[in-house]
Amino acid sequence: MAKPMPSLPKTYGELVAALPPRPIHDALDLANASEMIDRLAGFDLNADQEDYLEALSVFVEAYEADHFPIDDSDITPLDAANGMTALPAQADA
């Protein structure tokens, strides 16, 4: 179960006033958006907060794909399948 969110704006408008969701242009934009994503992720969010988090995530994902591309040209389908099954075992608590 997700934990209650610390004090953050509750409406989309309040979130936009704190940090407008917009395309990421540089490392500072990326850091600011990532910080806000970290503040929201993993908590019980209302619909406005979820929409805002999704919008920020789309911009961060686009920036990272453009500036930090992953070269997967040497990964075969078998490598990919093996990687999906090589997850660490969960320890019982």
- Rounded Cα distance, 28 and 34, in Å: 10
Residue 48 counted as domain residue:
yes
- Rounded Cα distance, 5 and 29, in Å: 23
Residue 35 counted as domain residue:
yes
Residue 61 counted as domain residue:
yes
Average pLDDT, rounded, for the chain: 87
Q: Which domain holds residue 36?
A: 12-68
89 vs 60, which has greater pLDDT? 60
**What is the value of pTM for the model shown?**
0.71
Residue 74 counted as domain residue:
no
Residue 32 counted as domain residue:
yes
Residue 57 counted as domain residue:
yes
47 vs 81, which has greater pLDDT? 47
Q: How many domains does the chain have?
A: 1
pLDDT value for 52: 97
Residue 73 counted as domain residue:
no
Query: Mean pLDDT, to the nearest integer, of 46-68?
Result: 96
Residue 88 counted as domain residue:
no
81 vs 31, which has greater pLDDT? 31
pLDDT value for 90: 62
